[in-house]
Amino acid sequence: MNLQDKGCHPIRIKKTGPARGNRRSYMTEQAANAGGAMPGTQAFEEAMRSAWKMPAFSPWGASAPTGQAPSPTFESALRSLSGLKIDPAELLAIQTDYLREAAQVWNQRLSADAAATPIKDRRFAGEQWLSNPVAGYAAAVYLLNARTLARMAEAVQGDEKTRARVRFAVQQWIDAAAPSNYLALNPEALQKAISTQGESLVSGVRNLIGDLRQGHVSQTDESVFEVGRNVATSEGAVVFENEYFQLLEYKPLTPKVHARPMLFVPPCINKFYILDLQPENSLIRYTVEQGHRVFVVSWRNPDDGMAARTWDDYVEHGVIQALRTVQDISGSAQVNALGFCVGGTLLACALAVLAARGEQPAASVTLLTTFLDFSRTGVLDLFIDEDMVRLREMSIGAQAAQGPKLLKGKELATTFSFLRPNELVWNYVVGNYLKGELPPPFDLLYWNSDSTNLPGPMYCWYLRNTYLEDKLKQPGALTVCGESVDLRTIQAPVYLYASREDHIVPWESAYLSTGILSGPKRFVLGASGHIAGVINPPAKKKRNYWLCDAQPDSAAEWFAQAQEHPGSWWPDWAGWLQGHAGALKAAPKAFGNKTHPAIEPAPGRYVQQKA
């Protein structure tokens, strides 16, 4: 249908058009008719107010406690909105450009070939968005408004952290406001409802009720997976357990193994089986196949009885106990140790404590996407300031009036999902609820939904001393387990891996570890993000990685000199690790030893506990 045949006409900005004084109001009206008024400071502040209440930005996380008054951080954030300033000349330029682009959108959407002009956004790439002129126009106007609001956020005056928070908050609101997220505005969902005679809407309501019961948006068909049955299936046994973790030992897959065993320390904010999803993408199995005797820490999912546990507890009774147990079982004075994300931070802290006690148990250290220097923490820095940390300490930490509490896993999961809301939230809202579809089974997203709790005092210590005050890298600035922490005293050679598109541990920040640790270092940069970059088995022949023997002060200088290599970084790490693993000897025929016999088959009970 040609809209011009129905009495609609394109806007033309020329002298014969509306009078100069009326042109602005005329074009503003056209934009408003399409569902979006021309952004001004009032609309901008309203976007900020709405976004600040979202789970990702609220200082309370997923939800405020019942009856709880707004936090000081929330109140001060809202008060600061009235003080946002944009240079008047810049605002005028933004609004002038908006009017010009609004006219272009109107003219383009009225043209006869509008249906043949795809919108360059995957949310609106479907055929129905092209064939339905109203929907196509709504999407185009939304994208125009989104660009304009984002440009206004960039123009806000203030210190860099305030400006970054404004940009993030406005982007949250922009993503939530997409017409694709609403049934009445989504032509694909409406068409499916018609073609299925409403069955898709019934399925969508059923999916919504199911997600409300389980407490999170389904990102995969969780019914397909079961820990120990089709994820975390590498053969092994639990050979030690205490209140904090179970230690898993894996069955050798080679007749001989290296004399020095391998200990994996995964993050305690997730479950260990990200390293053992399926046999074909398991870093644990790959390491076993290389002839290593592999042990893995499986952190307990804390319950209320562990709410008062501290960072010191996790270092002493977690990582240090795991190191000592592996030494005892293997008979080797030194072990190779790998830490992933916050597991790497815990591992480095533990090794520094042991160094202060005169011990050097690590023959080598591998740190995957790990912070040691917290001066540049990327998007996570938006959530950290003195008010926020103090609030956490008073609500769930050691200073809580009614005693320490757990940081719930659902809250952490929600926050991390809203760091990438289009991919990890709204995409599933549209599919699960508006279209009534079940997301396809995906092992990594099943793991992602299997959240874990954290003890409040442990979490608050981590927030204050690393993210807020950045003390870990400062020699002697922290006392952990009664010892002064100095990361320079760790003598082991170190393999540092970072992912180029990591939004949780930016690779440039991971590179700063090269200036902190004293031993010989190898820095490797992989493609993709925080998880997908790490879980990149060689057989898939996917992605690439960068290497450079030199380690200049600047990450940018390192990258300029680095050589790109195709495929996975795993073989490079395996070759490096072999040089620190010791001679080969006959593989053990049983798990553990007399002191630490097998308790139960891997993956053990702890990983089965739900948050």
Per-domain residue ranges for the chain? 3-195, 236-408+453-608
Which of 421, 513, 563, 488 minimizes the C-alpha distance to 57?
Answer: 421
Is-above-0.95 flag for pTM?
A: no
Which two tokens mark 109?
Answer: 């959407």
Q: Using an 8 Å Cβ cutoff, are 369 and 267 in contact? A: no
Mean pLDDT, rounded, of the chain = 87
Q: For residue 316, is pLDDT > 90? A: yes
Phi/psi for 602 (5° steps) reads -65, 150
pLDDT of residue 557: 97
What pLDDT is recorded for position 23? 35
pLDDT at 254: 97
CA count, 13 A, side-chain hemisphere, 578:
11
Is 5's pLDDT higher than 90? no
The pLDDT of residue 491 is above 50: yes
pLDDT at 13 over 70: no
Q: Is the pLDDT reported for residue 304 higher than 50? A: yes
Instruction: Give the pLDDT confidence score for residue 554 in this predicted structure.
Output: 95
> For residues 261 and 292, is the Cβ–Cβ distance under 8 A?
yes
Distance CA 326, CA 239 (A): 10
Say what the pLDDT of residue 410 is: 86
Region label for 394, one of left (φ > 0), alpha (ψ between -120 and 50) or beta (otherwise): alpha
CA distance 536 to 168: 30
Position of tokens 């068909």?
Answer: 221
Which positions are annotated as active-site residues? 341
Establish whether the linkage from the previous residue to 603 is cis, with ω within 30° of 0. Answer: yes
Cβ atoms of residues 250 and 294 within 8 Å: yes
pLDDT digits (tens, 9 = 90+) for 72-103: 443 444 444 556 788 999 999 999 999 999 99
The pLDDT, as a whole number, for residue 133 is 86
3-class secondary-structure state, position 459:
helix
The answer on pLDDT for 172 being more than 70 is yes
Once rounded to an integer, what is the mean pLDDT over residues 32-50? 50
Q: Round to whole Å and give the CA distance between 411 and 453.
A: 9
**Is the pLDDT confidence value at 55 over 80?**
no
Predicted confidence (pLDDT) at residue 71 exceeds the cutoff of 50:
no
Give me the pLDDT at residue 274, please. 97
**Residues written for the chain:** 611
Cα–Cα separations (whole angstroms), residue 235 to 377, 466, 595, 604: 37, 37, 21, 11
Q: For residue 136, how many C-alpha atoms fall within 13 Å in the half-sphere facing its CB?
A: 24
pLDDT at position 29, please? 37
Q: pLDDT tens digits for 533-579?
A: 999 999 999 999 999 999 999 999 999 999 999 999 999 999 999 99
pLDDT tens-digit series, residues 209-234: 999 998 889 999 999 999 999 999 99
Label residue 37 by pLDDT band (50, 70, 90): very low
Amino acid symbol at 488: R
pLDDT in tens, 180-210: 999 999 999 999 999 999 999 999 999 999 9
Q: If pLDDT is split at 50, 70 and 90, which confidence band does 161 have?
A: confident
Q: Which CATH number fits domain 236-408+453-608: 3.40.50.1820, 3.30.2130.10, 3.40.640.10, 3.40.50.1860?
A: 3.40.50.1820
**268-287: average pLDDT:** 96
pLDDT for residue 114 = 62
pLDDT in the model for residue 299: 98
pLDDT at 109 over 90: no
> pLDDT-derived band of residue 105, with 50, 70 and 90 as boundaries?
confident
Residue 573: its pLDDT value, please? 98
Express as a percent the part of the chain with pLDDT over 70: 86
**How far apart are the C-alpha atoms of 32 and 48, rounded to whole Å?**
20
Q: What CA–CA distance (Å, rounded) separates 359 from 388?
A: 37
How far does CA 290 lie from the centroid of its chain?
A: 30
Sign of CA pseudo-dihedral 92, 94, 95, 96 = positive
Q: What is the pLDDT of residues 317-375, one digit of tens each?
A: 999 999 999 999 999 999 999 999 999 999 999 999 999 999 999 999 999 999 999 99
What number is the average pLDDT over the span 428-452?
A: 94
Q: How confident is the model at residue 531 (pLDDT cuts 50, 70, 90)?
A: very high
* Residue 276: pLDDT over 60: yes
Percent of the chain whose pLDDT exceeds 90: 73
Average pLDDT over residues 304-324: 97
